[in-house]
A and B are shown apart, each in its own frame.
Chain A
């Protein structure tokens, strides 16, 4: 058990709908990352939050947004869903991700993921 909790485990929805994925980081971790994993693309970085603030963006669509709350949990919102959005969505957390450095603080621990199926 990595200590990172993601809910729900599975989501089945229709095209055009909106869903919210939730992530609780490991105790003490300030940074949360969201990744998308599809069969053809592998794991792709979407977005990072550090202590409540957006820190970095990757290949995240405009239809997708995220936030990190004061208790450090994070939510990824996916809207106007398309068939191609079907994938595994992973959340990871680490201690570092802001202005601090330190080897073990950079290790990202992943949750079990949310499998999204858009029909």
Chain B
């Protein structure tokens, strides 16, 4: 069974204080790993998708990296508007439900001004 574990559960940063979020996964053949941002009461917003170990993607203050067992979301010089829950999900390459996303429980990021 595919599993995704995110850590920490919650992270509080000062504006400008860089840090990283972790996503560890177990999947029977990775089709893709996805990062989403979710604001309270809203739907997940797509950020990145990574497909193979060593791949990196960047968008503004966010950078996602992937290894064979985990992914990191690095946040450089965060701003208060980066406060949100960040969700990691994997999509398996094989199996009957091979297009579903298996999500972690998320990391709640709070950036204080």
Contacts and interface: CB of A to CB of B under 8 A. Distances in A.
25 contacts: A2-B46, A33-B100, A35-B101, A42-B105, A43-B101, A43-B103, A45-B100, A48-B100, A55-B99, A56-B97, A56-B100, A57-B97, A58-B100, A90-B44, A96-B99, A103-B49, A106-B32, A106-B49, A106-B99, A107-B34, A107-B46, A110-B44, A110-B46, A113-B43, A115-B41
Interface residues on A, range: 20 to 34
Contacts of A96: 99
Interface of B: 31-32, 34, 36, 41-46, 49, 51, 87, 89, 91, 96-106
Interface of A: 2, 4, 6, 31, 33, 35, 42-45, 48, 55-58, 90, 92, 94, 96-97, 103-104, 106-113, 115
A35 B42 CA distance: 13
A42 B36 CA distance: 13
A104 B46 CA distance: 12
Contacts of A35: 101
B96 to A, nearest CB: 6
